[in-house]
Amino acid sequence: MPASPACLGRAGAVPRLDGVMRDADLSILVIDENAIRAQIIEEGLRAAGHVRVSVVREIQGVARTIERVSPDVIVIDLENPNRDMLESMFLLSRSVQRPIAMFVDRSDRAAIEAAVEAGVSAYVVDGLKQERVKPILDMAISRFNAFSRMARELEEARTELENRKTVDRAKAILMKSRGLSEEAAYRLLRTTAMNQNRKIADIAQSLVMAAGLLEG
């Protein structure tokens, strides 16, 4: 096997004639353990006119899927622990005959950095022209970013809700033990937080924990 930097695997590149295939005809395989993100990416690809999109959640049996759908592009979460397994299939598997390289044009460092930053990794059939794959990669990157943003917002909302619940419990404790009104209890929490340069939620958390200890 020649140690060619541009290709992996045993077989030679499948020659393709530019313009013979429309971009919409590219076969794209999305591998993602996260069902929601996989769906977001699939929708994006379909909205962009791609009809040959396959999605798998589990790496188990992926060699058969690759054989069946013969993907031109594989998009996978950079953090997926099974990427080593996937790459070994490209290297030596008897079932995956096609040479697959990552990113069409290695000189496009900015594109590669953006993909790594977003957590996307893509494998592309060697010899495919960059202008045909770039929109797919860009779409995957923006969808990955959108998903991360969504997940972050969800986490923030969850924390916010948790905090509000804790503050409510702390207020109730103060109202009961010190005979304060709800407003006075909140003012006390806020003043304490300001004096100690901490967040109200943190003060509330300490109070709830201390009350739990005293009760127990």
Partner 1 sequence: MSEDADIRVGFVPLLDSAILVSAVVKGFAREEGLVVALRREPSWSSIRDRLAVGALDAAHILAPMPIAANLGLFPLSPSLIAPFAMGLGGNAVTVSNGVAHELEQAGAVETLDAGVVGRALKAVVVARRGRGLPALRFGVVYSFSGHNFELRFWLAACGIDPDRDVEIVVLPPPQMPAALADGQIDGFCAGEPWNTAAVRWGAGRLATVKARIWRSSPEKVLGVSRPWAEDNPAALDAFVRALYRAALWCADKGNHAELARILAAPRFLDVDPQLLMTGLTGAMEVAPGRIITVDDFFLTAAKAATFPWQSHALWFYSQMVRWGYCSHSPHNTLIARDSYRPDLYRRALRGLGAPLPGANLKVEGALLAPTPVGAANSSLVLGPDGFFDGHIFDPDRIDDYIREQMAARVPDVRGG
Least CB distance from residue 5 to partner 1, whole Å?
Answer: 3
Does 58 sit near partner 1 (CB under 8 A)? no
Q: Which is nearer to partner 1, 5 or 15 (CB)?
A: 5
Site for partner 1 contains 101 (CB under 8 A): yes
Residues 6+ apart with CB under 8 A from 174: 180, 185, 188, 189, 207
Using the contact rule CB under 8 A, the part of the chain among 4-12, 23-31, 34-42, 149-157 near partner 1 is: 4-12
User: According to CB under 8 A, which residues from 7 to 36 bind partner 1?
Assistant: 8
Work out how close the CB of 194 gets to partner 1 at its nearest, in angstroms, rounded to a whole number.
Answer: 28
Which residue from 64, 68, 109, 190 is in contact with partner 1, where contact means CB under 8 A?
A: 109
From 111-119, 148-156, 159-167, 199-207, give the range in contact with partner 1 by CB under 8 A. 111-119
Cβ 116 to partner 1, closest distance in Å?
5
83 lines the binding site for partner 1 (CB under 8 A): yes
Q: Under the rule (CB under 8 A), what is the footprint of partner 1?
A: 1-5, 8, 78-85, 87-88, 90-92, 100-103, 106, 109, 112-113, 116-117, 121, 123
